[in-house]
Amino acid sequence: MSDIAIQLQEANVGKVWVNEPLANHTTWKIGGPADLLVQPNDKEGLITCMRIVQEHQMPYRVIGKGSNLLVRDGGIRGVVIKMGEGLDHLRIEGDRVTVDAGYSFIKLATIVARHGLTGLEFAGGIPGTVGGAVYMNAGAHGSDVSRILHSAEVIFDDGQLETLSNEALHFSYRTSLLQEERKGVCLQATFQLKEGHTQTIKDELSKHKEYRRETQPLQQPCCGSVFRNPKPYSAGQLIEEAGLKGVQVGGAQVSLMHANFIVNLGNATAKDVLTLIDHIQTIIKKKYGVDMHPEVQVVGEG
């Protein structure tokens, strides 16, 4: 591992940490160490990093702001690539917006609203990066990334760069090609928006942001929604009706504000969260016969 760390540093790809606790890089503030954590300086640094990782045949995982992510207490073996500063450029050309994968999804929604472009209002309050939003087909308020994405530039495991159309990304509910079929990293996304009335767009965006502030425990360490909605039901409603609000395992608690959120009270471990997730699944299945599937990505070693 020291050899690849030295090679990455000598290649000046960006910041390189060894045995870095991922609790420092997730919104849940939970997670064991990564053997190596790399934050590329820019697109070229990311491509070089990917090439070196493949040369060493090292397993890797990409993260953004660490939302929608539970890292087990044993951490992640191999290389974790963090998309952030340096991969956060934005270009607006008419009603088409091209943005790097490390750009904040919330910030993007705010910026395009100021330009009078509509289509991203649903993103108000969705944590994470653009790359993560594409990977997960993030959505809320009746819309999602698949409704507005024109194309995405992706680098695959073999180092091949491809620009994929919306159709080629095979979007479905909270999934994409990058999860299910071909492992790759979104480098950049282009969104096709529409011109609208600036104040109307801002008002809609503010409404969504305010709704999240009022209904979700955003002041506590959490990951966003834990479970996918088992249509036609609401995950949060089922959990609340089952009387599970406030149920606690160790330092992890079903939020008193929103039942589809699990919060870290300060000392939660991944094991606490996973035990609580399993308990919720068991109770909901017993009471309602409904299978609850996590939306959160669980990675790493126990």
Residues labelled as active-site residues: 174, 225, 295
Helix (H) or strand (E) holding 46: helix 43-55
- For 106-115, give one letter per residue: b (16+ CB within 10 A) or e: bebbbbbbee
User: Could you give the CA distance from residue 130 to residue 138 in angstroms, rounded to a whole number?
Assistant: 9
User: Could you give the CA distance from residue 243 to residue 250 in angstroms, rounded to a whole number?
Assistant: 18
Task: Identify any residues that bridge with 80 across adjacent strands, giving them in sequence order.
Answer: 37, 61
User: Could you give the CA distance from residue 296 to residue 64 in angstroms, rounded to a whole number?
Assistant: 14
The SS3 call for residue 253 is strand
* Token pair of 112 as six digits: 């395009």
- Residue found under tokens 């959505």: 139
User: HEC profile for 279-294?
Assistant: HHHHHHHHHHCCCCCE
Q: In Å, how far are 52, 140, 187, 272, 285 from 20, measured between CA atoms?
A: 19, 33, 24, 21, 38
Which of 78, 36, 43, 302 minimizes the C-alpha distance to 188? 43
**DSSP H helical ranges for 127-269:** 130-136, 177-180, 198-215, 235-241
Q: How many CB atoms lie within 10 A of CB 301?
A: 12
